[in-house]
């Protein structure tokens, strides 16, 4: 009889878990929600759905509402002329890139600059400059995507340290630094399936998050260049690949170029629900349980689908799974009496820069008088595809996490704890605000950021076990008087997905998605022992100059840290209030490397 009771209890437990958790996951990852892209109508539908669930569970509104609104960049839109033509000739197929400024260029000389790459002269491995010997001041440069390593397996450009030179952001900034006023981008022919059937260029309105370079830029077809230059772009690429030397030249033609776009923004919302603690003192220590509910919509730049064709990206694991698990935890915990308060936070716009979690963190000072301080944070992101173990990351963020976790008795699923909290998900926003944070994830898989991340592949049974572990852990930290002491050294292991290829280290952690009113890069904090810390840069300062490079956007910072090398002595300038402070510094060597096994999104890169 006792065994029957136990089996019945387990059956009931899983049935409850498979109720709201399964239903919400199935709905949020359905085609009807069209991938929940931040700023879309479908995302607003998902927002209302999650808010309704919190109301139905009886959770309190937070700061007077279940919604926490903020503004995001939604895309560039074209207007007027967006054209390219050889002066006095017919127009060609052309689309602007969203990084471009708006304006008109008339009768500007055209210069072919290969891949548009200039390796610093101090580089120990490669000597290469597509601009060498050319004057491009006030002219339009024509360049290819890719780098000289395409078509040459032995090329030094195959070294991952040089991957940054392939990026459009680098190429546009380099052209801007060289004085070019326009850039025409061509697909490198060796990367095309069939160079003879190249598709027309397309316009991606969301590239770059609305930041723009001080030049006009857009895409054209290889045939335009071949007809214009009376040569073959494919032959030129093969020549560069085989020789590892530039093949740049003045085309001998002039062009008219027009680009006209405007930046659009929209309002989106986090969804928040509050469960007040029972202890008069401990209830003012708030545990934040978080998960993001937005995804990629129809794909776009962040999609990893083999095809660029628009398809609904349902994001069942990323992150309908975390959203559903958090709703399930809200259902379970709302029935308990706990000493500390719990905030259930469903973040929006994670996929475009952790914007929702950053907004909540940045607004907390306004809530502190009424609610108290943030005690700790648990993040649930991609928890639906259990393989061999669950990763629980971030133990280094508080000295006490190990002791607390040792008291959790649930052992129904293998959990591997990790000190670091790497991975570009919402816990990073809290760690940067000195809040002890843990991150639950079952890790990346072959459907990550693909249209194949569907409900049918979710392991609901394992999700129930993960939720049971998290429920017990929350019960421990919400019901006991233990303090969590944040370890500032742990911040060096959190944040964005890692990327090799930035040669110099400054030590200012930038604010991604900063206000449009800021000209420069807002420094959130400095890393211990860094050149920026030694120079006296503080959190809240705005970087405006690194050496000879003016810093207006995050892309300028990335370019500067690639342009200069470790050991270079340069002048750093930053703004504090209305005062400009300047100091000579010596750049350090970047020690960050890849960690391909950790959950990551492709929209964040450590560049500081």
Rounded Cα–Cα distance for residues 506 and 97 (Å): 30
Domain ranges of the chain: 2-75+265-493, 80-259, 504-589
Query: Check: CATH 1.10.1200.10 for 80-259?
Result: no
Measured in whole angstroms, the distance separating CA 291 from the mean position of its chain's CA atoms is: 16
Quickly count: other Cβ atoms within 10 Å of residue 407's Cβ. Answer: 11
Alpha-helical (H) ranges within 310-372 are 322-333, 355-371
Position 601 confidence tier, pLDDT thresholds 50, 70, 90: very low
- What residues form DSSP beta bridges with 69? 269
Average pLDDT in the 414-419 region?
A: 93
Work out the average pLDDT over 413-432: 88
Prediction pTM value = 0.75
Nearest to 549 by CA among 511, 520, 580: 520
- Separation of alpha carbons 333 and 88, rounded Å: 71
Least confident of 208-212, 268-272, 494-498, 534-538: 494-498
* pLDDT for 546 beyond 60: yes
Helix, strand, coil shares, percent, the chain, to 5? 35, 25, 40
Distance CA 151, CA 356 (A): 42
Q: Which residues contact 163 (CB under 8 A, 6 or more apart)?
A: 499, 500, 501
Query: Which has the higher per-residue pLDDT, 517 or 73?
Result: 73
Q: How far apart are CA 459 and CA 456, in angstroms?
A: 8
Which CA distances in Å does 483 have to 38, 340, 398, 478? 36, 12, 9, 11
pLDDT of residue 10: 41
Tokens of 325: 């698990």
Per-position DSSP letters for 454-500, written without gaps between them: -GGG--HHHHHHHHHHHHHHHHHHHHS-----B-GGGGGG-SSPP-S
Q: For residue 18, what pLDDT is reported?
A: 54
* pLDDT (0 to 100) of residue 3: 42
Domain pair 80-259 / 504-589, same fold: no
CATH architecture of 504-589: Roll (2.30)
And the tokens for 519? 């000209």
The yes or no reply on domain 2-75+265-493 and CATH 3.30.830.10 is no
Grade residue 513 by pLDDT with cuts at 50, 70 and 90. Answer: low
- Report the Cα 312 to chain-centroid distance in Å: 20
Q: Is pLDDT above 60 for 600?
A: no
Phi-psi region of 404 (alpha: psi -120 to 50; beta: other; left: phi over 0): alpha
Q: Is the pLDDT of residue 8 over 90?
A: no
Say yes or no to pLDDT of 330 above 90: yes
> What's the rounded Cα separation, in Å, for the pair 225 and 230?
8
User: Tokens representing 398?
Assistant: 């508080």
Mean pLDDT of 249-268: 95
From CA 159, how far away is CA 152, in angstroms rounded? 12
The residue count of the chain comes to: 608
Separation between Cα atoms, residue 397 and residue 421, nearest integer Å: 8
* Beta carbons of 317 and 457 less than 8 angstroms apart: yes
* Cross-strand partners of 258: 83, 104
Q: Which long-range contacts (CB under 8 A, 24 or more apart) does 537-541 make?
A: 537/507, 537/508, 537/572, 537/574, 538/576, 540/576, 541/508, 541/574, 541/575, 541/576, 541/581
Residue 196's pLDDT band (boundaries 50, 70, 90)?
confident
| CA dist., res. 342 & res. 332, Å (int) | 12
Q: What is the DSSP string of 154-211?
A: T-GGGSGGGGGGGSHHHHHHHHHHHT-SEEEEE--GGGSS-GGGPPPP---TTGGGG-
Q: What percent of the chain has pLDDT over 70?
A: 90
Hey, how many other C-beta atoms are within 10 angstroms of the C-beta on 386?
18
DSSP annotation of 367: H
Selection from 529, 514, 492, 508 nearest residue 572 by Cα: 508
> What stretch of H or E contains 55?
helix 41-56
CA–CA dist 105, 84 (Å, integer): 10
- Around Cβ 347, how many Cβ atoms within 10 Å? 30
Contact 135, 275 (CB under 8 A): no
pLDDT confidence of 603, banded at 50, 70, 90? very low
HSE of 485, CA atoms in CB hemisphere, 13 A: 4
Of 170-174, 204-208, 337-341, 585-589, minimum mean pLDDT range:
204-208
| Mean pLDDT in residue range 398-418 | 94
CA–CA separation, 6 and 1 (whole Å): 9
Kindly indicate the confidence band of residue 210, based on its pLDDT and cuts at 50, 70 and 90: low
Per-residue 3-state assignment (H helix, E strand, C coil) for 413-456: CCEEEECCCCCCCCHHHHHCCCCCEEEEECCCCCCCCCCCCCHH
């Amino acid at each position: 009889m006792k065994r029957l009771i136990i089996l019945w209890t387990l059956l009931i437990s899983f049935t409850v878990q498979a109720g709201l958790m399964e239903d919400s996951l199935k709905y949020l990852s359905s085609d009807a929600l069209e991938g929940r892209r931040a700023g879309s109508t479908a995302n607003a539908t998902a927002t209302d759905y999650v808010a309704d669930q919190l109301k139905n569970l009886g959770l309190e509104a937070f700061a007077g509402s279940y919604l926490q609104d903020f503004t995001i960049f939604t895309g560039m839109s074209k207007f007027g002329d967006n054209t390219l033509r050889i002066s006095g000739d017919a127009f060609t197929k052309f689309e602007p890139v969203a990084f471009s400024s708006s304006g008109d260029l008339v009768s500007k000389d055209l210069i072919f600059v290969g891949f548009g790459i200039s390796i610093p002269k101090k580089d120990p491995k490669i000597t290469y400059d597509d601009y060498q010997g050319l004057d491009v001041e006030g002219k339009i440069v024509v360049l290819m995507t890719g780098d000289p390593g395409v078509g040459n397996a032995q090329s030094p450009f195959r070294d991952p340290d040089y991957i940054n030179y392939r990026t459009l952001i680098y190429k546009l900034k380099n052209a801007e630094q060289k004085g070019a006023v326009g850039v025409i981008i061509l697909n490198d022919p060796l990367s095309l399936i069939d160079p003879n059937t190249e598709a027309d260029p397309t316009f991606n309105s969301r590239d770059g998050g609305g930041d723009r370079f001080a030049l006009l830029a857009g895409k054209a077809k290889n045939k335009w260049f071949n007809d214009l230059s009376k040569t073959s772009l494919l032959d030129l690429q093969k020549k560069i690949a085989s020789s590892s030397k530039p093949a740049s030249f003045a085309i001998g033609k002039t062009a008219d170029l027009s680009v006209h776009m405007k930046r659009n923004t929209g309002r989106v919302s986090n969804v928040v629900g509050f469960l007040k603690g029972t202890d008069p003192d401990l209830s003012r220590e708030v545990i934040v349980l978080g998960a993001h509910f937005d995804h990629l919509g129809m794909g776009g730049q962040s999609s990893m689908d083999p095809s660029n064709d628009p398809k609904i990206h349902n994001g069942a694991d990323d992150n309908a799974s975390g959203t559903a698990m958090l709703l399930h935890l809200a259902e379970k915990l709302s029935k308990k009496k706990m000493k500390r308060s719990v905030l259930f936070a469903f973040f929006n716009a994670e996929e475009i820069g952790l914007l929702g979690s950053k907004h909540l963190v940045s607004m907390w000072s306004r809530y502190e008088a009424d609610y108290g301080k943030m005690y700790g944070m648990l993040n649930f992101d991609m928890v639906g595809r259990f393989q061999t173990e669950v990763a629980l990351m971030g133990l280094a963020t508080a000295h006490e996490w190990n002791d607390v976790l040792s008291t959790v008795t649930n052992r129904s699923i293998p959990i591997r704890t990790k000190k670091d909290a790497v991975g570009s998900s919402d816990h990073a926003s809290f760690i940067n605000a000195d809040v002890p944070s843990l991150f639950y994830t079952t890790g990346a898989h072959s459907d990550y950021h693909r249209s194949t991340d569907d409900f049918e592949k979710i392991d609901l049974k394992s999700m129930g076990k993960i939720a049971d572990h998290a429920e017990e852990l929350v019960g421990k930290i919400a019901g006991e008087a233990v303090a969590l002491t944040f370890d500032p050294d742990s911040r060096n292991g959190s944040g964005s997905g890692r990327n090799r290829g930035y040669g110099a280290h400054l030590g200012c952690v930038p604010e991604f998605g900063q206000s449009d009113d800021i000209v420069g890069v807002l420094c959130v904090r400095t890393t211990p022992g860094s050149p920026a810390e030694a120079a006296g840069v503080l959190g809240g300062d705005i970087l405006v100059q690194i050496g000879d490079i003016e810093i207006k956007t995050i892309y300028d910072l990335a370019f500067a840290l690639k342009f200069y090398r470790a050991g270079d002595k340069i002048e750093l300038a930053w703004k504090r209030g209305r005062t400009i402070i300047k100091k000579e510094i010596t750049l350090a060597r970047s020690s960050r490397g890849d960690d391909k096994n950790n959950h990551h999104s492709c929209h964040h890169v450590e560049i500081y």
